[in-house]
Amino acid sequence: MSRATLKDYEAIVNAMNGYIEGNIVGKGEVMKSTFHKDAIMYGYTNDGKLSEGSIQNLYDLIDTLGPSKDLQYRIDVLDVAVTVAVVRVILEGPGVEYADYHTLLKVDGEWKVISKVFHQY
């Protein structure tokens, strides 16, 4: 088994930056660099409804919500195993509070989110 290096952790955090920036500027297109083209997303919204399906649903939602300039966030790399990683992202801002868990895969040398599960408070 290979140990993850600091370089791996930095690359994973850098991969998540598109997701964060897309949330801040309110543009789904900005966050596309973070996700694999076939990524999926599942989670519960604050009204108890299950959101499920293609990551395109996230892009569309972000486009309708608009910018969240006061968004605060925390990125925690929970585990790395050579070509797979799990990342927790906490998002907090006016009217926004999420716990996200992202599963990443190293594809052609780049970290990409394959799946996102979340809970909206």
* Residue 1 within a domain: no
Q: What is the pLDDT of residues 47-93, one digit of tens each?
A: 999 999 999 999 999 999 999 989 999 999 999 999 999 999 999 99
The answer for residues whose C-beta is within 8 angstroms of residue 36's C-beta and 6 or more apart is 105, 107, 112, 113, 114
- pTM across the whole model: 0.92
- Specify whether the CB–CB gap between 65 and 83 falls below 8 A: no
Q: Is residue 47 part of a domain?
A: yes
* Inside any domain, residue 16: yes
Per the structure, the complete domain to which residue 23 belongs is given by 6-120
What CATH code is carried by the domain that includes residue 27?
3.10.450.50
In the chain, the amino acid numbered 64 is T
**DSSP annotation string for 61-87:** HHHHH---TT-EEEEEEEEEETTEEEE
Residue 80 falls within a domain, yes or no? yes
Is 81 a domain residue? Answer: yes
Q: What is the pLDDT of residues 1-34, one digit of tens each?
A: 467 888 999 999 999 999 999 999 999 999 999 9
